[in-house]
Structure 1
Amino acid sequence: MKKLWMRAIVGTAIAGGIGGATVAAATAFNDSEAPEVSGEQALQEVFSKVEGTVQEVELGLEDRRYYEVEVESSVREYEFLIDAASGEFLAEEPGQENASDDEFHRPVDAMDYAEYSMVEEQVDTGRLTYHLATDNPGNRILFLLDENGEKQFKTIFLKDSRELEIIDLSNGEQVYRGDI
């Protein structure tokens, strides 16, 4: 199996949110080997499914070219396979559980969170419940779900810089971005 290693800048990467990750190729390709989809595009596909810290982005050059993308969230470790020609999601390989799904995907009382009052100012939360997706020393990600369990809003709070971003998931628009 021939693989080309690519490195991702390790850090919390959130598609469409505060922060980000970039991928730099370690080796030049000849025309027959060059993938049609970049490593960054593969990451965008992964981040449409999960948020977390990029551990590794690897380009496999076998019969079918694909990216292996490893992401670690506070819930578990993920490994995704993304087609290097189309950018399509191929598979998710089983990862190691870090915590039970119930612990991080249950309603939480967010009143004690630093970002709570700003979220309440920006969003009508009357019929929404807060659900914790990620809470680590660097950031906290919450989803606000309606009574049908549908995600309506996403909040991303960077703890050190006290930056908050609120995204309306129904239209993908940013509701708020700034310091609190």
Structure 2
Amino acid sequence: MKKIWIALSATGLLLTACGNEGTVENEPIEQQQVEVVSDNPAIEETETEVAEPESENVETETEAEKDTQTEVVNHGDYAELREYGTIVEQVGADYTFETVTDNEGNRVLFLNDHNGEKQYKTIFVKYDQRLEIIKVNGEGGGKVFEGKI
């Protein structure tokens, strides 16, 4: 038994030193076969072992994680605007922001869907902190929100 372990160790060192010469590159690890030959003359058979995969569910876990993640649009500097929280609360975060006007008195933004079509227009009056959100495309058009924030 001790000789078998020595033979396995020597074979492992030899395979490691030779690099990829002893592996089958097109087969997954689970299907690659490693031959173990004994130095003991009493044992004439060659044993074949199948290498076990390190983790069976690595790919499945990654796919499951992707399924649970929703696509969130990165709003960058827009997330720092005074009216941002109210806008996201009223219409959601699935829109990209486009600045139309931003001056001392007011800020006008368009919220575009994933196709780039304008869905909402927001008007924020800076002096009295009033926000108006208007749906400009699709069913249910008109004011969605109007109030002081």
With normalisation by structure 1, the TM-score equals 0.39
Q: Which has the higher contact order (CA 8 A, sep 6+)?
A: 1
Task: Give 1 or 2 for the bigger CA radius of gyration.
Answer: 2
